[in-house]
A and B are shown apart, each in its own frame.
Chain A
Amino acid sequence: MKKAKQIQDMISKPFDLLSEELVFIILDLVAQNPSDLKSFSLTCKWFYQVEARHRRSLKPLRAEYLPRILTRYRNTADLDLSFCPRVTDYALSVVGCLSGPTLRSVDLSRSFSFSAAGLLRLAVKCVSLVEIDLSNATEMRDAAAAVVAEAKSLERLKLGRCKKLTDMGIGCIAVGCRKLKRVSLKWCVGVGDLGVGLLAVKCKDIRSLDLSYLPITGKCLHDVLKLQHLEELLLQGCFGVDDDSLKSLTHHCNSLKNLDASSCQNLTQRGLTSLLSGAGCLERLDLAHSSSVISLDFASSLNKVSSALQSIRLDGCAVTCDGLKAIGTLCISLREVSLSKCVTVTDEGLSCLVMKLKDLRKLDITCCRKLTGVSITQVASSCPLLVSLKMESCSLVSRDAFWLIGHKCRLLEELDFTDNEIDDEGLKSISSCRSLSSLKLGICLNITDRGLSYIGMGCSNLRELDLYRSVGITDVGISSIAQGCCHLETINISYCKDITDKSLVSLSKCSMLQTFESRGCPHITCQGLAAIAVRCKRLSKLDLKKCPFINDSGLLTLAHFSQGLKQISVSETGVTDVGLVSLANIGCLQNIAAVNTRGLSPSGVAAALVGCGGLRKVKLHASLRSLLPSSLINHMEARGCSFLWKDYNNHNNSNTLQAELDPKYWKLQLEEDIEL
C-alpha cells in the first residue's frame, strides 16, 4: 500500500529523483541555443525555477524589464546591457539592489542616460564587481569616474571614448581600484601623461593597458613600462609618443607580450629601438601605418625581440625588399604576418620573407597589387601550416597559383580571394582543405557552379561564404553549397543576378543561418524568403535591398517566424506600411533601413517606429524628416534610436563620387557598362 503510494508520488512528481546538480549539467549542454533554454524552463514550475537558478549571464533586450528579470535570475553574474540603449539611474540601482552580491561584470558600453548617482549605487552595492564596461559614455565626467573608484575590487575597466574624462578622474580610479588588471582608455582624449602615470604607479597589477589615441608622450611610458606584469600595451595613434621623449627610456619589461604602436606617426626607428630594448619576450608587434620605411636599418631595431616574436603587422607601411628579407631571417618564429595595403611589396620581398617561416599560420597580403603567382607559389611551398590567407585584390596572381595553395596548404581555415582570378580548378583544389570555415569569393568572375559544387562536397565545415557579385553563380551552385555545408552561418549572394527562389529554398536547409544578404537579386520573391524565415530560426541579419519582388507578405512571414531578427534592410523593395508595421512584432529588431521604398507613408513609418521598442538605428529617406512629427523623432532619440537620413535624389552624382573613392567600384561600374 505504502509502496504503491510512493510510486504514485513518483509518477506525479517525476523529477523529484533528479538532483539539481544533474539538471544543471543538462542545462549547460542545452544552453547553446537560447530558445531551447526557453522551452526547457516552460516545461514545469520546477524546471522554471531550476533554470532561473542556473543562469549566470543575462543580456536583456529592454531595461524596463530589469526588475522582473533580475528577480527571477538571482544568480546573475554577468549582465550585458548592450541591447538596452536607455539605462537610467533607477535601472542601475535596481541592478545594484537585486543582484548586488553576485554581480561580477556589467556592460554599459552601448547605454546612456545614467549618471554618477546610478553608478554609485552599482559600485557600492555590487561588492564583487570585477568588470565594468563604460565605453562610449561620452558625457561622463570626472565625478562619475570618482564614483567608479568606489568599486574597490574592480579588475577590468573599459572607458573607451569617455572624452570628457580628465586626469583627475583617472587619478581617482587609479587610487580607488588598486586591483585593476585590464584598463582601456582608448579615445579618452582628456587624459594625459599625469593620469596614465599615476595609474601605472598605483595599480601594480595591470596586465593590459590600452592607451590608443591619448595625448600622451613618452614621459608616462617610463612609469608604465615599470609595471611588473604588463603583457599588453596598445599605443595606437599616440601622436605625442616620439623619439625624443623615449630617448632616455630604459626598461626591463620582460612580461610584455603584445605591443601595438600602429599609427604612431612620430615614432621612428630610434624611438622604437628604445621601446623594444627591454621587451625581450615580445610576441606580437603592430606597426601598421607607421611613418618610417621598413628598411634594413629598421629591421635591425627588431634585433632585441626577434627571438620570441610571433606576429608582426606592417599594414600600410612603406616596405622595402631588404627590410622584408631581414625580418624573414631575423624573426624565424613568426606565425602571423600582415602586409595589408603595403603597395610596395614585390614578389622578391615576399618570397624572401616567407622563405624561412615554416611556422607561418596567417598571412594577410590584401591589396598588395604588385604580387604575382611567383610569390604565392613560394608562400604555398614554404608555409605548409598556413591557416589563414587573405589576398583580396591581388589580381596579378595567376590561376595556377590558387591550385598550388589548395594542394600544399591543407590546414587552411580562412581564405579571402575577393577580386582575384581564381577559377573552378582553383576551387577544386581548395575543396581539399577540410577545415575551411570562411571563404570569400566576391568579384571572382571566373568561378561557376561547378567550382562551388567542389566546395560543397569538400568543405563541410564552411561557416561563411561570400559570393558578392560573382555573377557566374546560379541556383545550382547555391544548392550544392546548401547540401554540403550544413553549418553555414553567413552567406552573401548580393548582385548574383541569376539567383532565384530555388536558392533560398535550398539554403533554408542550413538551420544555423544567421546572416543572409541578397541585395540586388531581382528574381527573389516572398516565397523564397518565407522558406528562409520558417526554417532558419537563428536569422539575425537580412539584407533585401533592391529586391523589387519582396513585399508585405514576405515581411509578415518574417515578423511571425524570425523572432531573432536584429537587422533588416528593405530599401528599394515593394514593402508598404503594412509590412513595416508588422516588423514591430520582432522584439529584438535594432536596425531598420527603408530608403526609397515607394509604398511607405509617413504615418506608417511613424507607427512602425513607435512599435519597435528596441530600435537603435533607422535609415530613412531625407524627405521623411520633415514629414514625420518632430516630437516622434525626439521621442525616438530619447529612447536611444539614432536616425540616418539618406538623400539619393542626386543619384548620378553620388555614384561618380563613390567611383572616385573606391577603385573596386569603378571596376564594377565598368563591367556593368560592358554588359549593358
Chain B
Amino acid sequence: METGEDDLCQNNWGSASILDYEMAMEDEEEGEPNLHVFKASSSGKDNNNNNNGGQASVQGVKAQAWDPRTMLCNLSFMEQKIHELQGLVHLILGRNGQLQDEQQQLITADLTSIIIQLISTAGSLLPSVNMLSTTAPGSALFPFPREANNLASQTLNNGGASQELEDDAEEGENLPPGSYEIKQLEKEEILAPHTNFCTICGKGFKRDANLRMHMRGHGDQYKTPAALAKPPTKETLPGSDAPMLIKRYSCPFPGCKRNKDHKRFQPLKTILCVKNHYKRTHCDKSFTCSRCHTKKFSVIADLKTHEKHCGQNKWLCSCGTTFSRKDKLFGHIALFQGHTPAIPLEDTKPSAAASSQRGSSGCGNSNNNAAMVSFSLGSAANANQETSQPCVMDGKTSFEESFSPLSFDICNFGGFPRSIFDDSFQMLISSACGCSPINGGVGSVSDTSL
C-alpha cells in the first residue's frame, strides 16, 4: 500500500504525542505536580482508544501546551532539575572529580530530559513550526535514558504500545461499517492525469503544491506566505468538530473487493491508493520495461521500481521465473518437480535438440537439418550392418561417409548454424561468468567451444 502524505503526517503527530506522554511519565517520577500535561496526553490516549483518530488527540495536546500555567510548571521543573544537577556535580567535585559510570549516566539522563523539555516547551510556543522539528532532535538526543532509566524505558514501551494501537486503528481493516465516510471517485476522475487546475490559465497539475508554485507567476498576490502556505484541510483546522468521521474510499469497479457493494468490502485509505489500485487491477499494463521487455506495469512508479532492479535477477529457473538470490532459486527448484536451474543456453538449444532426439527414439527419422540427417544416415547404416552379415570394410566405408569431419562441422548442437551457435555460446560463457561469484574471470571462448 502506498503511504500517502496524510499518513506520514499522522505518524509524525503520533510520535510527537508519545514524546509528550513519555515526558509526562518522567514528571511523575519526580513527584512534581505536573498533572496537566500528563492528563492531557492521557486523555489523548483515551481518545485514541475510542477510535476518534490520532489528529484529535494531538490537537488536544497541542491545545493544552499553549496554556501559560503549564509553561510555568515546565520552567520551574527545569529549574529544579538544573539545581539538582548542580548539587550532584558539586558532590563529584568534592570527591576529587572521580566520575563513576552510574553518576555519569545519571547526569546524562538528567541533561537529556532537560533538553527535551526545553525543546518541547519552546516548540509549543511556535505555532507554525510543527512537531516535526521537535521530534527529530528529540529522538536524536535520546540515546541514554533508555538504558539508564528503567522507568523511562518502561514508559517508552508504553508509548510503543499506544502507537501500535493507533496503527491498528488506522489500518482500517477492522473498522466497523459506518464508522467512516465512504467516497467513491468515478473512473474518469481516477484516470485524469491532473487534479489541480489553474483558475487563470487552466493548466493542470498533479500536486497542489505545484499549482501554488505555478500561481506565483500570475501576480504578486499569489506570492504572500499565506497564499503559498498549505491550505488548511478540515481535519487540521483547530476549530473543527472533535469527532471527525474518517474518510475511506471505494473502487468504482463493480464486483471488486474494494468496491463498497462487495460482501467483504475493504475500503481504500487515500485517493492515491484508489488511483494505484484502479490502475493496477482494472487497467491495461501499458508500461513495458525497457531492459527486459517482458515485465509490464500500469503504474509508472512500479515500472521505475522494477527498472532499478531489472537485470539483477540473474538466477533463472527453467520455468522462466527469475530470482535475485541464488538460495531462493534453489529453494524453488527443490520444491517443484522438473524445474531446473537454467543456464541461458540450455534453455533453448540443447534441451530442445535433446527432446527432438528423444522424440524420434534416438534414430533421427524426423530430423530436418543436414547434420541430423548425416547422423541418422550413420546409425541407419550401422543398423543395417548389425542385422546383415557384419562386414568390417563395409561398415567402415559407410561410416566414413556419414562421419566426415565436414559433416560434423555443419552439425552443431542440434543443428543450429555454426555462427549462431558460437554467438550463443559466447553469450552463455559471459553470462556464466557473470553469474558465478566464485569464478570471477571471464574465460576465453576458445577454451570451451569446439
Give the interface of A toward B (CB within 8 A).
Answer: 49, 52, 67-68, 71-72, 74, 89-90, 93-94, 97-98, 100-101, 115-117, 120, 123-125, 127, 139-144, 146-147, 149-150, 163-164, 166-169, 171-172, 175-176, 189-190, 192, 194-195, 197-198, 201-202, 215
Query: Quick check: A49 and B390 within 8 Å, CB to CB?
Result: yes
Contact with A along B408-450 (1 / 0, CB 8 A): 1000111000000000010011001001101100010001111
A195 to B435, CA, bound (A): 14
B354 at interface, CB cutoff 8 A: yes
A617 CA to B115 CA in the complex, in Å?
82
Complex Cα spacing A141 to B345, Å: 12
Report Cα–Cα, A202/B346, bound state, in Å.
20
Chain B contact surface mostly: helix
Shortest Cβ distance from A147 into B: residue: B350
Contact A115 B438 (CB under 8 A): no
Known: A93-B403, A147-B350. 6 other contacts (CB 8 A): A117-B450, A124-B354, A167-B326, A175-B340, A176-B340, A194-B330
B343 interface neighbour in A98, A142, A164, Cβ under 8 Å:
A142
Q: Let me know if A124 and B357 touch, CB within 8 A.
A: yes
Most A CB within 10 A of own CB, among B350, B358, B429: B350
Report yes or no: A124 in contact with B358, Cβ–Cβ below 8 A: yes
The reply to whether B435 and A168 form a contact with Cβ atoms under 8 Å apart is: yes
Give every chain B residue within 8 A of A202 (Cβ-Cβ): 334
CA distance A176 to B330 in the complex (A): 14
Q: Give the complex CA separation of A471 and B351 in angstroms.
A: 65
Contact in complex: B403, A141 (CB < 8 Å): no
Binary A-proximity of B335-368 (CB < 8 A = 1, otherwise 0): 0001111010110001101100110001000000
Q: What residues of chain A lie closer than 8 Å to B413, measured between beta carbons?
A: 116-117, 120
**Can you sample 16 A-B contacts with CB below 8 Å?**
A71-B382, A71-B395, A89-B408, A90-B405, A94-B403, A97-B379, A124-B357, A143-B448, A144-B448, A146-B345, A146-B351, A163-B439, A168-B432, A171-B341, A192-B438, A194-B326
A123 to B412, CA, bound (A): 15
Complex: how many Å from CA A233 to CA B72?
79
- B439: chain A residues at CB < 8 Å are 163-164, 166, 190
Question: Does B287 make an interface contact (CB < 8 A)?
Answer: no
Instruction: Say yes or no for B386: interface residue by CB 8 A criterion.
Output: yes
The answer to whether the Cβ of B327 comes within 8 Å of any Cβ in the partner chain is: yes
Most buried by A among B327, B334, B345, B443: B334
Closest to B435 in A: A168
B353 x A168 contact (CB < 8 A): no
- Distance of A158 from chain B, by nearest CB (Å): 20
Known A166-B438, A167-B326; contact A141-B450, beta-carbon cutoff 8 A = no
Q: Does B265 contact A (CB under 8 A)?
A: no
Nearest CB on B from A452, distance (A): 52
Which residues from chain B contact A172 at a C-beta distance below 8 Å? 340-341, 343, 346
In the complex, A169 Cα to B439 Cα: how many Å? 13
| B333 in the interface (beta carbon within 8 A) | yes
State how many angstroms separate the Cβ of B432 from the closest Cβ of chain A.
6
| Closest A residue to B437 using CB positions | A166
**Cβ–Cβ < 8 Å partners of B435 in chain A:** 166, 168
Sorted nearest first, the 7 A-B pairs with minimum C-beta distance are A171-B341, A146-B346, A166-B436, A194-B330, A168-B341, A175-B340, A71-B395
A197 to B335, CA, bound (A): 12
Docked Cα-Cα span, A120 to B447, in Å, equals 18
**Residues of chain A contacted by B333 (CB below 8 angstroms):** 171, 175, 198
Q: Is the CB of A74 within 8 A of B341?
A: no
Establish whether residues B330 and A171, one from each chain, have CB atoms under 8 Å apart when the complex forms.
yes
Knowing A166-B438, A194-B327, A202-B334, say if A117 contacts B412 (CB, 8 Å).
Answer: yes
- Chain A residues near B443 (CB, 8 Å)? 139, 141, 164
Which residues of the other chain, B, contact A140 by a CB distance below 8 angstroms? 448
List the A side residues contacting B438 at CB < 8 Å: 166, 189-190, 192, 215
- Output the residue of B435, B436, B447 with the most chain A CB within 10 A: B436
Are B334 and A67 in touch, CB under 8 angstroms? no
- Nearest-neighbour CB distance to chain B for A46, whole angstroms, equals 12
Are A201 and B346 in contact (CB-based, < 8 A)?
Answer: no
Q: A97 to B339, alpha carbons, bound, how many Å? A: 29
Most chain B beta-carbon neighbours within 10 Å: one of A101, A168, A189, A197: A168
Contact A149 B340 (CB under 8 A): yes
Contact with A141, one of B330, B392, B429 (Cβ below 8 angstroms): B429
- A175 and B338 form a contact (CB under 8 A): yes
Task: Name the residue among B338, B351, B435 with the largest chain A CB count within 10 angstroms.
Answer: B351
Contacts of A176 in B (CB 8 A): 340
Chain A proximity mask over B187-201: 1 for CB below 8 Å, otherwise 0? 000000000000000
**A66 vs B341: C-alpha distance in the bound complex, in angstroms?**
35
The chain B residue sitting closest to A127, CB to CB, is: B362
Nearest-neighbor residue (CB-CB) of B449 within chain A: A115
B180 interface residue (CB < 8 Å to A): no
- Which residues on the A side are within 8 Å of B357 (C-beta)? 124-125
Closest to A171 in B: B341
Q: A67-B399, A90-B403 are in contact. Are A141 and B340 (CB under 8 A)?
A: no
Q: Which residues of A contact B338 (CB under 8 A)?
A: 175
- B396 interface residue (CB < 8 Å to A): yes
A74, A125, A143, A192: the one within 8 Å of B345 (CB): A143
CB distance from B405 to the nearest CB of A (A): 6
With contacts A97-B375, A164-B439 taken as known, whether A143 is within 8 angstroms of B362 at the C-beta atoms is no
Report if B378 contacts A (CB, 8 A): yes
The CA-CA distance from A58 to B428 in the complex, in Å, is 35
Contacts of B345 in A (CB 8 A): 143, 146
When the two chains form the complex, which single residue of A89, A97, A167 contacts B450, counting CB atoms closer than 8 Å? A89
- Closest beta carbon of chain A to B348's beta carbon, Å: 12
Closest B residue to A191 by beta carbon equals B438
Q: Nearest Cβ distance between residue B276 and chain A, in whole angstroms?
A: 36
Contact in complex: A201, B436 (CB < 8 Å): no
Determine whether the beta carbon of B382 is less than 8 Å from that of A98. Answer: yes
Q: How far is the CB of A219 from chain B (nearest CB, A)?
A: 10
Inter-chain contact B449/A169, CB cutoff 8 Å:
no
Q: How far is the CA of A116 from the CA of B436 in the complex (A)?
A: 19
Q: Is the CB of A115 within 8 A of B343?
A: no
B403 touches A67 (CB 8 A): yes
B386 touches A74 (CB 8 A): yes
B396, A71: Cβ atoms under 8 Å? yes
Contact of A125 among B362, B432, B450 (CB under 8 A): B362
Q: Pick from B341, B346, B443 the residue with the most CB of A within 10 Å.
A: B341
Cα–Cα distance between A194 and B315 once the two chains are bound (Å): 13
Which A residue sits closest to B326, measured CB to CB?
A: A194
For A116, A125, A189, the residue with the greatest tally of chain B CB atoms inside 10 Å of its CB is: A116
Contact B362 A124, beta carbon cutoff 8 Å: yes
**With A90-B403, A168-B436 as contacts: A146 and B450 at CB distance below 8 Å:** no
The docked-state distance in angstroms from the alpha carbon of A71 to that of B401 is 14
Quote the shortest CB–CB distance from B171 to chain A (angstroms). 37
**How far does the Cβ of A174 sit from chain B's closest Cβ, in whole Å?**
8
**Chain B residues within an 8 Å CB radius of A74:** 386, 390
Q: Write out the residue numbers on chain B whose beta carbons fall within 8 Å of the beta carbon of A166.
A: 432, 435-436, 438-439
Which residues from A are CB-within-8-Å of B399?
67, 71, 98
Q: Are A116 and B341 in touch, CB under 8 angstroms?
A: no
Given the contacts A164-B439, A168-B436, A189-B438, A116 and B350 also touching, CB distance less than 8 Å: yes
- Check B354 against A150 for contact (C-beta < 8 Å): yes
Closest chain B residue, CB of each to CB of A121: B375
Cα-based distance from A267 to B330 in the complex (angstroms): 27
Nearest chain-B residue to A152 (Cβ)? B358
Residues A142 and B330 in contact, CB atoms below 8 Å apart: no
Report chain A residues within 8 Å CB of B378.
97
A90 touching B396, Cβ below 8 Å: no
Contacts of B408 in A (CB 8 A): 89-90, 93
A380 to B405, CA, bound (A): 65
State how many angstroms separate the Cβ of A230 from the closest Cβ of chain B.
Answer: 18
Known contacts being A97-B379, A125-B362, is A143 close to B392, with CB within 8 Å?
no
Q: Which residues of B sit under 8 angstroms from A169, Cβ to Cβ?
A: 343
Measured CB to CB, the nearest residue on chain B to A215 is B438
- The CA of A120 and the CA of B390, in the complex, are separated in Å by 28
> In the complex, what distance in Å separates the CA atom of A141 from the CA atom of B343?
10
